[in-house]
Amino acid sequence: MTEEAYSSGYLVGQLLIAMPQMQDPRFERTVIYLCAHTEDGAMGLVINKLLDEVTFPDLLEQLNIDTGIDEDMIRVHFGGPVEAGRGFVLHSADYMQESTLVVTDQFGMTATIDILKAIAEGDGPRRSLLALGYAGWGPGQLEDEIQRNGWLCVPADEALIFGPSLNDRWQQAMAKLGIDINMLSGEAGHA
């Protein structure tokens, strides 16, 4: 996260980790990369849940995109419940288009068909995560959820976001904070 983002109180480029008592099944044990966070709200992508019913080859076929790579290697993630039919690619900063949202100096997010074509042709970013839908919060909503002990925050890194161990990302994110998940309480406290 940039010093400017940190000092502003916004969490752009950070990971949100759902606390164990998260009641919403869509977000239970999720890790969300925050692509945007301002006074107007926040937007992020769930990085540790796959969609079983949609594959990358299916998407390419629907969009009439020919491929030159093994597209079975690309998994489609559940990015969140908002606009579930819309695709987003979180990726390394080596790939940038005019339409790319530069999140940090390490990560960008692109939501155009051009990036899917580039990935299919082997010309896409070095690392990427394809998601359908996103998680969104209105003004002050995320801050309120954090205050009510719903989320923890941790700095993002490529290994955690793009690493192969999808099922362990929640535990890895918790461990990055030095937290033993068995010691967490579901109750918020005040000193």
Higher pLDDT, residue 6 or 89: 89
Residue 46 to residue 186: CA distance in whole angstroms? 22
CA angle 185, 12, 186 (to 5 degrees): 10
Residue burial 57-72, b: 16+ Cβ < 10 Å; e: rest: bebbeeeebebeeebe
Residue 128 has φ and ψ, to the nearest 5°, of -155, 160
3-183 under CATH 1.10.565.10, yes or no: no
CA 142, distance to chain mean position in Å, is 15
SS3 for 78? strand
Model pLDDT for residues 26-66, shown as the tens digit of each residue: 999 999 999 999 999 999 999 999 988 777 777 777 777 77
Instruction: Tell me what the pLDDT averaged over the chain comes to.
Output: 85
Token pair recorded at residue 28: 């239970």
Confidence at 182, pLDDT banded by 50, 70, 90: low
CB 9 within 8 A of CB 23: no
Q: Where are the domains of the chain?
A: 3-183
